[in-house]
Structure formats: structure tokens, C-alpha cells
Amino acid sequence: MVSAVSSLERGAFREAIAAIVGQAGVVADPAAMAPYLTDWRGRYRGAAELVVRPASTEEVAQVVKCCARERVAIVPQGGNTGLCGGSVPLAEDVSSGRQIVLSLSRMNRIRELDAENNTITVEAGCVLASIQAAARGANRLFPLSLGAEGSCQIGGNLSTNAGGEAVLRYGNCRDLVLGLEVVLPDGRVWDGLRALRKDNTGYDLKQLFIGAEGTLGVITAAVLKLFPLPTATATALLGIESPSQAVELLSELRATMGDRVVSFELMSRLALALVLKHIPGTSDPLSQPYPWYLLVELSDSGASEALNARLLQALEEALERGRVRDAVLAQSEAQREALWRLRDSMAEAQKKEGVSLKHDVSVPVSRVPQFIEEASRALEEAFPGVRIVAFGHIGDGNIHYNVSMADPQMNARFVQEPEPVNRIVYDSVARLGGSISAEHGLGQLKRKVIQRYKSALELELMRAIKRTLDPHNLMNPGKVV
Amino acid sequence: MVSAVSSLERGAFREAIAAIVGQAGVVADPAAMAPYLTDWRGRYRGAAELVVRPASTEEVAQVVKCCARERVAIVPQGGNTGLCGGSVPLAEDVSSGRQIVLSLSRMNRIRELDAENNTITVEAGCVLASIQAAARGANRLFPLSLGAEGSCQIGGNLSTNAGGEAVLRYGNCRDLVLGLEVVLPDGRVWDGLRALRKDNTGYDLKQLFIGAEGTLGVITAAVLKLFPLPTATATALLGIESPSQAVELLSELRATMGDRVVSFELMSRLALALVLKHIPGTSDPLSQPYPWYLLVELSDSGASEALNARLLQALEEALERGRVRDAVLAQSEAQREALWRLRDSMAEAQKKEGVSLKHDVSVPVSRVPQFIEEASRALEEAFPGVRIVAFGHIGDGNIHYNVSMADPQMNARFVQEPEPVNRIVYDSVARLGGSISAEHGLGQLKRKVIQRYKSALELELMRAIKRTLDPHNLMNPGKVV
């Protein structure tokens, strides 16, 4: 597929694309293209002939058809907030040929909201927060919630099977989908936009495209599930002794509260300390430091007072039993936001502190304590003085596990060689039956390393699926498989 | 693949299989084989060389390998409680060659229960009720619940993506799976038994096998999600005016009760009347007949008294607003069971009344009233005097819609020609964006008719997946695709 392309060919291709999407839909100026070619953390810089911004499914289909004919590869892109380089093209020197970025951002209509069916039909370019808002406007909840919700787009959320902060209660993005519309690699449109809770008429094709990071087709629209909008929320920050205590407490709290438990977030003292150090306006809500913290949120119908009272009682019992060392319950929305700010500023605080080697891993919930202990011990042995910032969605067994050196100069060298660190962390994850990418996907970043941790048979099956749907390897090449 | 097979060949094959599973694992006597060759409603009678009953994944793998080598087709079978003939082999005259029934019933171990991770790892032959019981024993809920739970096996539930009576709250079988172990059509074992809430490392292969009715491989084990065990239940039977009222009430009840609403079952007066007529010991809990009924069940943590009080208040408000005409709340477990018996005896009562043409359909919840009205009007026009028994999981948009003639002689002729009736029902479903098989699958029964209602492109994609995984068409041939 490597070919020398004359500017005439490129020019003719550009004209063909412009004839489909109009001049407004084509970005060819290098400066205007730049934001589409770099991921938001600035680690990947790719090359592309054009950025194409179609405004409808039909335009996407025509563009894909044109690319298929010309054997031009396509990198679908939503809000470009991914963490593994999945939504930016490969750099010129590793790319195997011609490629475009296909931005879905102009396809941002909410096509339908059916409150009685608890569904919303949205186009791929809808920003996640706008879908949440539309649902709220109809007295419904769209529960997918994550740090980038103000800029990420649902097409990207679907393509990476996004997780976030309400998975414990509502599941991953995959669990929130009833139907999809997909432009296939040959440009045909698969209309799977069904709004059905039950449909057992053959293979559930939509599952193939969810989490495929754009390697099997372009998701252009989706039917998403809505839920009753909770009217009560109760939020608390807990100081605890260890991750083991967190797991025990989760079990107890779910036994008494059932599925009111929506979020259950673990933070190490170091993780919190970095937030307190770097994020203005934050303060420690507890009177003294504790080794670990939990941010717990419940939601329910009915009144917040009743829910708060129940949570208070549960926490008092947990304090008595020694499960919790201290706790503070949010008494107002402002206090709730202040607690969540501690959690949501984790990434920013760590960025300000300096570069680190990040790992988005999961293990069975019951094994999180063992993972944290084993990985930390092995790292400290291999890299004396290593600094570990661990936090994440312990309710889902999903830990963000970031490793650095406190000394800036040592750290600069340390982060240049991620492999030995990754090896220790991922090997520990694998021994415990975990995943080396819990919610961020593979993208470019983990496409190679996954080959160590996935069976040859599973990789073979993935490649067979890829070949079946995308025989010319034109959909987001160099990602995932 | 049609071939005349000498008895020697058959004998050698049988010996090879017996060498793998032992004589205890081979059923070759026609009388002993008979139950495996007929579905429980007695509509399908198939032919097979052998019934093979392996006791381990390794034995399944060896059997499948042997069959692949000999080009012998395999019909995987669980509890054989399916309604579409998916788990029995094709009859000799339509079968294209040699085939065996592969019964998973000896693989019935619960391999692991991890309460802190809220997961249970089970083999395919576990009877659903035994999994529910094991979960309860650990103070957890496995929420899949359906009429056949005392005899259906989880491998079949997974292969048909079973629905049932708690889908509104907990989702279909697909939503309850974290990992699978599958023997592929070539006999290799794919170990996807992950117990992770989050894992985004490539295509989610398990989704292919769930709901595939054994046409892509043999599910041998699964990791299933468990939930907090509810301690409170509240159950009521409501007399209402119309399906529209049911949909409105569902919306209102979920707004005030949130996800405590677990079951929301609609029954027509005629459906109830047949139960009262044919099922001994049943009686109408309401003082007079109503056109439609709802069976509503809530569950929660905490005490049943509190939940009953909330449901009572909600029902009183609904009575005041005219949403409900009458209601009775179960005051004891015995009363609750009596109410559920009305719902659960629907199939049996109708069987006693006589044969009918059954349809397991779904539409968006908001369109159920329109479907019931449109289909009934069209049927009454085409078949004056037709009798329609409608009931089902209206909370999921899933209606069991059964059609017959009251007069037995007329009915005998009527059910001989299902196509014109099916056409009217399914066309109406299709116009409303629905599914012609909500929870029963396609099996043999709907394999042809689905071609009218699924796009050519979707059928093509399904066939491409089938060819990729099972190039010799050995896995449950003649089903689904």
C-alpha cells in the first residue's frame, strides 16, 4: 500500500472529497489541521492529507466510499480526548500510506428523545455533556460521566467503550447502547438504530463496533438508554487504613444500600496531597491525614435528607466497627462539588507535579489490595525511591496507577524508559487475572504490549474479525490490532 | 457435504468419541436419544448419529476437534427448553449431513464464587436455579429469572441471550456476563473467563457467542455478575383500562421509585381468564374484571414494610388520578406467590385451552399500545372472530402475542396456516421499529422469516461472521443464519 502520491492525485482526491462535503467540510491548511493531528496530551503527532468534516451520515458514507476506492486510510475522530493515541493518525514515518482524519464533530444533532421508552438517539459528534443535559431536560438520566465530558463526543465514547465514574451502578458505555448506525469500511450504511430492550434475532453486530476504536467502521449515530433521574444524592469522603478496608466497606455498603451506591473512588494519601499542593482552592476536609481515602456517592429517588440520613447511619456503624477512621458527609451541593473536585483534579495535579508513567489497569475487585501491594513492592525493589500515585474506581476494580520519581532530574531519566516499569505493573495485573487497559483502550500506545498479555488465539480471532470487515485495512490502521 | 455413510464409518466415529468421553458420555440407543432429539413443545424432531455428553472443557474440545476432522456437524444442547427449535438437530430430510447432539448437562460445576467481586464462575450445564441458589447462599442475587429456570441451563441462557422477568431492572443475559470460555468450531479453547468490570483491550469477543445459539462455538463456562441481594419486595396486581395507561404508569412509577421497579408485566383480561379457567387453585384477586392487568414488583434493600408503604402510597395516588382502576398489594409471601402464579401460568393455561399461533415480539415501550391496537385491528379484519391473548414484559416493550380461534374446529384449520397471521403481526412490529424475536431467538422457527425483516446488509454481515468463525458450517447448521 505504500505509494508515491503525486500532488495531482492528492489534488483530485481533495476535490472529490470537497464535492461531497463542501469546502466547509475540508480542512487542508496545515495550521488548521494541526489540532486534529495531535492528541490532547501532546504525545502523538500524526500526518494526514486532509481533515474531513462531514455533516451527515450520507456524507460520511460518500467520503468512506471515495477513500475505499482510492485506498486512502481513515482515522475517525470525535472530541480527540483519548489517552492512547487512538484518534490521531500515525506519524508519517510509521504510516503505511495515505490517510485522512474523519472528524464527526459536525454531526451533533440529537435526533430523538423518547421519554416513555427511556431512549435518546444521538449523532456521533454530540458532546457527552449535551446528551446529559438533554436527558435531564426530559427528567431522565444519561449516566455516562467522565472527566472529559465537556469536550469528548459520544462517538468516541462508544468507540472506546468509555467507563468513568458511574460504572459500578450503570455499567460501561457498552451497557448503555441499544442501537447503532455505522458506516462500514466499504461505505455502506448499516442501520442498526433499534430502540429495543429485547431483540434476539441473530448476532448482535453493534457489539463489534463498540470499543473497536474505529478500526471496523465509523459509528455515526446511536440509540442510548436513559434512566430515571435520581432526585437524591449523598456524598462522603472517608479516611481509611487500606485498600482492603475499601473492598470490605464496599461489600457492606452494597448489602445495606443496594444499588444506591453509584461511585466508590479510592485515592492514596499521596494522590490527595498532590491535589492539595497544586490545585488552588482545595483543602483537606478531614482533620488529619489518612493512608487512603474513599469518595462515596449514593443516589436515589425521593429526598436527599433521607438518603443522607441512611449514609450517615452506615458511616457511623462503619466507624464503630473500625472500618473507617474518619468521614465527612457533604451537607450542600457546594460541599459535594468540593469533594468531587479533589477526585476530578487528580490528573491535573499530577500533570503539574511532573511527568509520570501511567497505567490504567483493572483486576477483580477482590484482588485490588493484592495488586496494589504486589506491584508497589516489586517497583520499590526495582526502583528504590519510586513514587506511586494510585487512585481510581475501586468499585470496578479499576486503578489508575502512576509511577514516577520525586526528584525531577531522576524522573526525567526514569520516564524515558517505561518498559521495565510497565513490565512489572502489567505482569502483576496479568497474574491477578486483570486487564492492562481498563477504560482507555489500546490505541497506538498499547497495541504492541497487548500481544504479551492476550493469548495468541484471541489476537488471531481479533485479526480475523478485522480482515472480515475491513479487508483492505483502511479503518484506523495501526490501532488496536 | 451430503454423503452416504457406511455403518463402519459411523462405528469408527463412535469409538473415537467414546475414547474421549468414555462410554458413559455416549448415548446411542434410539430410545435414550429420543429426548435429546425433540424440543419440549414437541414441534421439532431431529436426527443425530449420537448424543455426546462430555464432562469437561477438555473433552468438549476433543469432541469438537474430532467432529471438525470428520466434518460431522454439532448441535450444542443445554436444558433443551428453547421455543424455536434451536437446540435440537434438523430432521433427517432437511439435514445436509452427519450430526451429533452435544449435551453440556454433565458440565454442571460452579467453579468459583467471589462475593467481594460479585461474580460467579459456572459451567455451561449448570441449571439456572442452582446458580440463583448459590448466589443467594452468598447473600448475593443472580437476577436472571424465567419460567424454565428449574430445568434450563446457563449455557442455553447465554446462547439465546435469555430475557425473562427482571430485564427492566437488570438487563438481558448478555448484560450479566463478564467472561466466557468457548470451544471454537475447530476445537481450540478460547479462555475469555475474565472477571473484570472494565476491560478495553480490543474487540469484545464474548459478545459474538452470546445470543448466537451455538452457531459460532460451544460456550463451556462463564463468569456472571452478581448483585446485592434485595431484602425487601413489594408486589401488586393492578386493574387498568389500557396498555397506554400501563406505559404512563411505568413512567410515573420509575420517576418516584427509581430502579426499585424490577418487574412490570401486562396481561389482558382474556389472558387472565384462561388462567382462572384452567389452573386449579387460582382466583381473581380483584372484585370485578378489568380490560387489562399489571403485575408490578419492586425490590430494595431495607425492610419490606417500608417498600410496601411506598408502593401503597404510589398506588393510592394513581387510583386518585384515574391511572389505575383497582389494585391489590400482596401482604405476605403466600399472596405474592399467588399473584405471580397468575402470570407464570399463562403458557400452561393457553396450552390447555388449545393450540395457538405464538409471537414473541418487541417494540419500543412507548409504542406497545399502538402495536397492540394496530395488530389486533388488522387481525380482526382478516380473520373475523379471531381471539388474541396478549401479555408480557411491557417494561421491556416485549409482548407475547398469541392468536387463535375460539371454536376448536375452526382453530384446527387456522393454526395450520400460520403465515398470513405471522405476516400481519410481524409487519406491524416492523413498521413500529420492533423485533420479531424479542427473547426466544431464531432457531429453526424464524430462520427464514427473519430474512423479510432484517436488511440484506445485516444478513450479509452475519453470514460473513459465521463463515469467518465456522468456515465448514459445522456449528448448529440450519439455525439463525
Looking at the partner chain, which of B192, B195, B439 has a beta carbon nearest the beta carbon of A198?
A: B439
Q: What angle do CA A11, A15, A21 make, to 5 degrees?
A: 140
B192 bridge partner residues: B180
Is the CB of B196 less than 8 angstroms away from the CB of A434? yes
- B360-383 pLDDT, tens digit per residue, is 999 999 999 999 999 999 999 999
pLDDT computed for residue B8 by the predictor: 53
| Dihedral sign of CA atoms B206, B208, B211, B214 in order | negative
ipTM of the complex: 0.96
The dihedral region occupied by B370, where left means phi > 0, alpha psi between -120 and 50, and beta the remainder, is alpha
For residue A6, pLDDT over 70 is answered with: no
For residue A3, pLDDT over 80 is answered with: no
Q: What is the 3-state secondary structure (H, E, C) of B343-409?
A: HHCHHHHHHHHCCCECCEEECCHHHHHHHHHHHHHHHHHHCCCEEEEEEEEHHHCEEEEEEEECCHH
| Mean pLDDT, rounded, for A59-63 | 98
Helix orientation angle between B304-320 and B243-257, rounded to the nearest 10 degrees: 130
For residue A389, pLDDT over 80 is answered with: yes
- Taking contacts as CB-CB distances below 8 angstroms, the residues of chain A near B260 are 301
- B1-29 pLDDT, tens digit per residue, is 444 444 458 899 999 999 999 999 999 99
Q: What are the grid coordinates assigned to B131, written together? A: 446458580
Is the CB of A362 less than 8 angstroms away from the CB of B196? yes
User: Of all helices (H) and strands (E), which one includes residue A398?
Assistant: strand A398-405
Return the DSSP state at A89. Answer: P
Looking at the partner chain, which of B190, B247, B302 has a beta carbon nearest the beta carbon of A458?
A: B190
| Mean pLDDT, rounded, for B93-117 | 94
Looking at the partner chain, which of B114, B163, B302 has a beta carbon nearest the beta carbon of A366?
A: B114
Looking at the partner chain, which of A116, A198, A247 has a beta carbon nearest the beta carbon of B116?
A: A247
| Mean pLDDT, rounded, for A247-256 | 95
- B43-79 pLDDT, tens digit per residue, is 899 999 999 999 999 999 999 999 999 999 999 999 9
- B458-469 pLDDT, tens digit per residue, is 999 999 999 999
| Mean pLDDT, rounded, for A346-372 | 95
Is the CB of B442 less than 8 angstroms away from the CB of A366? no
Q: What are the grid coordinates assigned to B232, written together? A: 425487601
For residue A299, pLDDT over 80 is answered with: yes
- Taking contacts as CB-CB distances below 8 angstroms, the residues of chain A near B197 are 167-168, 172, 362, 365, 395-398
Count of beta carbons in the 10 Å neighbourhood of residue B427: 16
| Mean pLDDT, rounded, for B127-155 | 97
CB A157 within 8 A of CB A35: no
User: Where does A317-380 show beta strands of DSSP type E?
Assistant: 326-329, 360-362
For residue B184, pLDDT over 90 is answered with: yes
Looking at the partner chain, which of A250, A436, A461 has a beta carbon nearest the beta carbon of B205?
A: A461
Is the CB of A198 less than 8 angstroms away from the CB of B172? yes
SS3 content of chain B, % helix, strand, coil (to 5): 40, 20, 40
Residue in B401, B410, B393 with CA at minimum distance from that of residue B354: B410
- The model carries a pTM of 0.96
Best A114, A136, A190, A200 member to test B by mutation, with max B CBs in 10 Å, is A200
Is the CB of A116 less than 8 angstroms away from the CB of B161? no
Return the DSSP state at A78. Answer: S
Q: How many CB pairs under 8 A join A and B?
A: 272
CA distances from A142 to A10, A173, B463 (A): 43, 10, 34
User: Where does A287-338 show beta strands of DSSP type E?
Assistant: 292-300, 326-329
pLDDT bucket at A97, cuts 50 / 70 / 90: confident
For residue B36, pLDDT over 80 is answered with: yes
Integer Cα distance of A260 and A397 in angstroms: 18
For residue A8, pLDDT over 80 is answered with: no
- Calculate the CA dihedral of residues B188, B61, A204, A56 and round it to 10 degrees: 0
A281 vs chain B: nearest CA distance in angstroms? 33
pLDDT computed for residue B463 by the predictor: 98
| Mean pLDDT, rounded, for A246-267 | 95
Mean pLDDT of chain B: 95
Is the CB of A203 less than 8 angstroms away from the CB of B212? yes
pLDDT computed for residue B93 by the predictor: 78
Is the CB of A255 less than 8 angstroms away from the CB of B228? yes
pLDDT bucket at B422, cuts 50 / 70 / 90: very high
| Mean pLDDT, rounded, for B339-357 | 94
For residue B332, pLDDT over 70 is answered with: yes
pLDDT computed for residue B97 by the predictor: 83
- Taking contacts as CB-CB distances below 8 angstroms, the residues of chain B near A192 are 458
A373 vs chain B: nearest CA distance in angstroms? 18
Q: How is B391-455 classified by DSSP, letter by letter?
A: EEEGGGTEEEEEEEESSHHHHHHHTT-HHHHHHHHHHHHHHTT-BS-SSS--TTTTTTTHHHHS-
CB B448 within 8 A of CB A201: no
Best A112, A198, A470 member to test B by mutation, with max B CBs in 10 Å, is A198
Is the CB of B365 less than 8 angstroms away from the CB of A436? no
pLDDT bucket at B239, cuts 50 / 70 / 90: very high
For residue A32, pLDDT over 90 is answered with: yes
Looking at the partner chain, which of B433, B434, B441 has a beta carbon nearest the beta carbon of A200?
A: B441
Domains and CATH numbers, chain B: 110-228 (3.30.465.10), 232-346 (3.30.70.2190), 354-440 (3.30.70.2740)
Q: How many CA atoms lie within 13 A of A216 on its CB side?
A: 30
Q: How is B152-197 classified by DSSP, letter by letter?
A: -BHHHHHHTT--BTTHHHH--GGGGEEEEEEE-TTS-EEEE----S
Mean pLDDT of chain A: 95
Give the number of residues written for chain B: 481
pLDDT computed for residue A46 by the predictor: 95
Residue in B355, B346, B343, B372 with CA at minimum distance from that of residue B434: B372
CA distances from B68 to B65, B186, B213, B473 (A): 5, 6, 19, 10
- A404-416 pLDDT, tens digit per residue, is 998 999 999 999 9
Is the CB of B190 less than 8 angstroms away from the CB of A256? no
pLDDT computed for residue B1 by the predictor: 41
| Mean pLDDT, rounded, for A425-443 | 97
Sheet of B99-103, strands arranged across: B26-27, B50-52, B99-103, B73-77
